[in-house]
Structure 1
Amino acid sequence: MTESSGPATAPVPFGVRLHRALEERGPLCVGIDPHPALLAEWGLNDDAGGLERFARTTVEALADRVAVLKPQAAFFERFGSRGVAVLERVTSEARAAGALVLMDAKRGDIGHTMEAYADTFLHPASSLFSDALTVSPYLGYGSLDPAVRRAREHGGGLFVLALTSNPEGREVQRARAAGGGDVASAVLDRLRAENAGEPPLGSFGAVVGATLGDLSEYDLAIGGPLLAPGIGAQGATPADLPGVFGAAARAVLPSVSRGVLRQGPEMSGLRDSAARLVESVRAAVN
C-alpha cells in the first residue's frame, strides 16, 4: 500500500482519542456481532441483506452516543465479498457518526503477512480503516511489530489478547515464560513498555476477560486500556469489575454484545440498554 507524499499533520494517538471518548460518552464498547441466532431474533434472514440491516441499524442507533463500536469481522467475512462490503460501510458510517471503531479480527502472523493485516485495518488508505484492531501475540510478541509501527504512524491502537475469558486460553496464557512468570504477564509487560510516557492513556491495550475473577496476581496497570469482554450474556456484571481488575478498574473498557443487541431491532431498545450499562459501569468503577 503506497504512502501519501507531502507534509502531514501528526495524527492524534488512539489513546488520547479513546480517553476523550470515554470521558464524553462513557465507558462502553458495544460489539456488532451478527450471529445467525441474533439475526433470527431480529426477524432477519441469515444472508448479506439481513447482515446489512442488522449492522447498519446498530450503527444508526449507537454510533452517535457510544464511545466504541466493535464489529466482529468473521460474521461479515462469512458472506464473502458482499459481507466485506457491508463491513466497509459499517466501519465508515460508525466513524463518521463519532464512534471509535475497534475491528475485532484477532489477527496474528509474521513479517509481511502481519504487515498486510496492519495495512488492511490501520492504514488510512484502506476501505476498512479502523481506529484500533484486536491482535494475537501467540507467534511471539515481536511478531506484532508491523502492526505496532502502523498504529504509531497513523494514530491507531491495538488490543492484544492477554487473559481471555475462554477456558482454553489458560493452556497458553498461564504457561510459564522464559523469564519465570507466565505468558500473560510477559504480554502485559510488553504493553506497559509500549505505553510508557503516553499520558493520559496509551494506545496499546490488553484484552482481559471480565469473567476471570480475582486477577490481583497480575499487574494490570499497563498505562493503556483494558478491553473486558464477558459483561452480560457471559455472566459478568459491571459490579464485578472492581473485584476483577482492582486498582486498574478505571482503565477498563467493558465490551458488551448480546446484552445490548438482543434489545433490537428497535433503536430505542438498543439506545436505552447501552445508556443503562454506561451508568452501571460508572457507578461501579468511580
Structure 2
Amino acid sequence: MTLFETLSKAPYDALTRCVGIDPTQDTLSAWGLDDTAAGARKFALTMLEAAHNNASIVKPQVAYFERFGVEGYRALTDIIKEARKMGLLVLADAKRGDIGSTVDAYSRAWLGNDAPMQVDAITVTPYLGFASLAPLLERAYDTGAYVFVVTRSSNPEGTALQEHGSPKLWHSILDDIANWEAARNNKTIGAVVGATVPEDLKYALDVLPNAYFLAPGIGQQGAKPDDVKALTPDLKRIIVNSSRRLAAAGPKVSDIQTAIEQI
C-alpha cells in the first residue's frame, strides 16, 4: 500500500511517529562506531530495529550517507530495502529541487518500482518555482509515492524568506499544493511544516484538509508532541519526526524504543 493508504487505514488515533536516521559524525562517535559508510549502516540498522513495531515511518537524512560517496549510497540502499522488508514506510529526506529533465531524473532515482533507491515518500524544495516540480509530482502520482514539499520549515533561518511578501511566500506555496491536489484529485502531496511553529501548522492543516504533514522539530529543536496534539482531531495526519533525541538515547535498542514511545 502507498503511504496515504497505509496511514489512512492505520488503526490508531495518535500522532504518526517517524524515526529520523541521521548518522552524523558526532553520533557515530558517541555510539563507538567508525565514521564510515559501514558505521552509518550499523547505526541505521539499530535504528530500524528500534523503530520496528514502534513507528510507522523512518526518515533517513540522505546527506549523512552521501558524504561517504559510493559506499554511502550502497549503505543507504541496503537500509531502504531492509526497512521496507520490515514493513516500515521510508521517507527519503533528500530535499531535491530542480527543473525539467533534471527533476525528472531525481524522481527516477527514488520513486517507482524501477527506481534504484525506491522509497515511499520524498522531501522536495519548491524554490525554483512550484511548477518546476511537475515531472516529479507526476511520477509520484503515477507510482503512488508521496511528496512532502518544504513549506514552513522548523529552522529559524528560514523564517525571513518564508514569511516574506503579502501573501506570505509559504502561504503561496500551500495554495500551489492545494491547487495541484484539487486539479488531480490525488493523494500524493503534502507539506513540511515545523512543529516548532504550531500556529502555522494549524493554518496549513486547514488549507490542506486531506494532506499529511511532516512536522520536524520535536526534541532537540524544542517542540513537544503536546504542542501539536490540540491542532486537529485527526492526529495521524501529523507525522512527528525525531532524530537527534532518539540517537542520543542509543545505542541500546530498548532505550531508543522507550524514547520513541515518548513521541
- TM score, norm. by length of structure 1: 0.84
> Whole-Å Cα distance in 2 between the matches of residues 21 and 122 of structure 1?
23
In the TM superposition, what whole-angstrom CA distance separates every residue of 1:182-221 from its partner, at most 9, and x where no partner exists? 111111112223334999x932111011112532883433
Q: For residue 250 of structure 1, report the CA deviation from its aligned partner.
A: 5.2
Question: Within 2, Cα distance between the matches of 1:70 and 1:217?
Answer: 23
Aligned amino acid, residue 273 of structure 1: A
The CA deviation string for residues 59-104 of structure 1, in whole angstroms up to 9 with x for no partner, is 1221343100000000000000001000000000001101100000
Q: Which residue of 1 aligns with 2:215?
A: 228
Secondary structure of the 1:56 match is helix
* Aligned match of 2:192: 207
Alignment map for 1:144-159 (pairs within 5 Å): 144-159=133-148
| 1:33 partnered with 2:19 | no
CA contact (8 A) 2:13 2:236 kept: no
Q: Does the CA-based 8 Å contact 1:22-1:67 persist in structure 2?
A: no
Superposition pairs of residues 25-174 of structure 1, within 5 angstroms: 27-174=16-163
CA distance in 2 between counterparts of 1:250 and 1:17 reads 11
Task: Sort the Cα spacing of 1:25 and 1:239 in 2 relative to 1 into closer, same or farther, 3 A.
Answer: closer
Aligned to 1:241: 228
- Tell me the distance in 2 between the aligned counterparts of 1:246 and 1:25: 11
Provide the alpha-carbon RMSD of the alignment: 2.4
Rounded Cα–Cα distance in structure 1 between residues aligned with 2:115 and 2:48: 20
**1:203–1:225 CA contact under 8 A, matched in 2:** no
Distance 1:45 1:235, change over 3 A: same
In the TM superposition, what is the alpha-carbon distance from 1:25 to its structure 2 partner? 8.9
**Which runs of structure 1 show a deviation greater than 4 angstroms over 4 or more consecutive aligned residues?**
245-250
Within the alignment, does 1:256 sit opposite 2:245 as a pair? no
Distance in 2 separating the partners of 1:64 and 1:217: 29
Q: Which moved more, 1:229-238 or 1:202-211?
A: 202-211
Alignment identity in percent? Answer: 38
Q: Aligned partners of 2:18 and 2:151: how far apart in 1?
A: 18
Matched, 1:273 2:259: yes
Output the TM-score relative to the length of structure 2: 0.91
Count of paired positions: 261
Contact 2:94 2:122 in 1 (8 A): yes
Runs of at least 5 residues in structure 2 that lack an aligned partner in the other structure? none
Larger deviation, residues 101-110 vs 248-257? 248-257
**Letter paired with 1:232:** G
The 8 Å contact of residues 77 and 117 in structure 2, kept in 1 or not, is answered as yes
- Give the letter aligned to residue 173 of structure 1: Q
**Residues in 1 aligned to 2:194 and 2:204: alpha-carbon distance in whole angstroms:** 15
* Equivalent AA in structure 2 for residue 79 of structure 1: F
Match of 1:175 in 2: 164
The Cα shift of 1:24 comes to 8.8
SS of equivalent to 1:262: helix
